[in-house]
Amino acid sequence: MSLKLEQYLTENLNYLKDNGLYNVIDTVEGANGPEIKIDGQTLINLSSNNYLGLATNEELKEAAISAIKTHGVGAGAVRTINGTLDLHVELENTLAEFKGTEAAVAFQSGFNCNMAAIQAVMNKEDAILSDELNHASIIDGCRLSRAKIIRVNHSDMDDLRAKAKEAVESGLYKKVMYITDGVFSMDGDVAKLPEIVEIAKEFDLITYVDDAHGSGVMGNGAGTVKHFGLEKEIDLQMGTLSKAIGVVGGYVAGSQDLIDYLKVAARPFLFSTSLTPGDTKAINEAVKMLMASTELHDKLWENGDYLKKGLKDLGFDIGNSETPITPCIIGDEKKAQEFSKRLKEEGVYAKSIVFPTVPRGTGRVRNMPTAAHTKEMLDRALEIYGKVGRELGVIK
């Protein structure tokens, strides 16, 4: 190994470990359900993004198996050559119906969506107004576009209006976009989409909502945009297929012209092999389930409200979450990691989240109850939270 590289790696790894920023990756032995097994220990799982429990759903397993039997294990090519299967077309039609748009296009991941769509639509002659707490994939997508990035204070509509006005009236940019998460994954709060739409109309902003944590959770499952009835007002709806949907992949939904353009301009679509047949079929069936019934969505919210109330009653700082995502904000990064470690020892798996995922000094344990958890599981988790919280002085 290069001596320079070895020195660089050693210095940075030591820094991360010394400052409570190093993340130890655990291996789950088996399926990622409401309870998981790590190193032989069975743990109540509060760290999964498998919001609706669909990752282990029997019907989706059968759908994936049937597609593998008829279409094989891989698509065999990029979408623009001969990697577009009838399964992909069917899925994209289902997604468009689900999101209330004219069309949709599927990608290999939610991260890929933001890398693809932002740089396809925006360029160095444009500006992007971006909420300061937007996901890393949004930040990277904005950087790739080479557009001027203007950071907007989190959910601050006065700041958005002022910066939109300044950007538009400067005459420096051909187009201006405002991009935001629909649901912010670390705090659980919801974007102020009705106010955002009004400001966008005033200044002719392109609107882009990353609904990775809103699809399946908000709007009876159809997402944050549909929750507010703004399907006709938001230009680009992006979402992941790996969280509430339970599989893997992502999508962008919008007008037919937008989707037609992304299919010829979005680089991950052009240069990466498409979703596998098994994944595609399972996703399609999962989305149809959400369109047919709100049962899983309702159970998720019931469990989320139950856990949130329990943690708040114990005295934990759970921030201002408006969704089942429930942080326990500790502050100090090392203490947050110690808190997570002790929870695991007692039987709860809830990972610590520290910088750079969240700002320095806001280290936390992020809790995500799912539709698959039972009240008994949540009661046991709350008991352990109380014990560990008092032991470490996080609560009294």
Catalytic amino acids?
185, 213, 243
Check: CB of residue 81 under 8 Å from CB of residue 200: no
Which residue from 250, 259, 306 is spatially nearest to 283, judged by alpha carbons?
Answer: 250
Q: How far is CA 109 from CA 17, 34, 39, 113, in A?
A: 30, 23, 29, 6
| 320: number of Cβ within 10 Å | 10
- Structure tokens belonging to residue 240: 């992941």
Rounded to an integer, what distance in angstroms lies between the CA atom of residue 323 and that of residue 307?
Answer: 11
What's the first-to-final CA gap in the chain, in angstroms?
51
- Structure tokens belonging to residue 319: 């921030």
Rounded to an integer, what distance in angstroms lies between the CA atom of residue 64 and that of residue 246?
Answer: 12
> In degrees rounded to 5, what are phi and psi of residue 41?
-100, 130
Rounded to an integer, what distance in angstroms lies between the CA atom of residue 226 and that of residue 209?
Answer: 11
The whole-angstrom distance between residue 271's C-alpha and the CA centroid of its chain comes to 24
Check: CB of residue 103 under 8 Å from CB of residue 96: yes
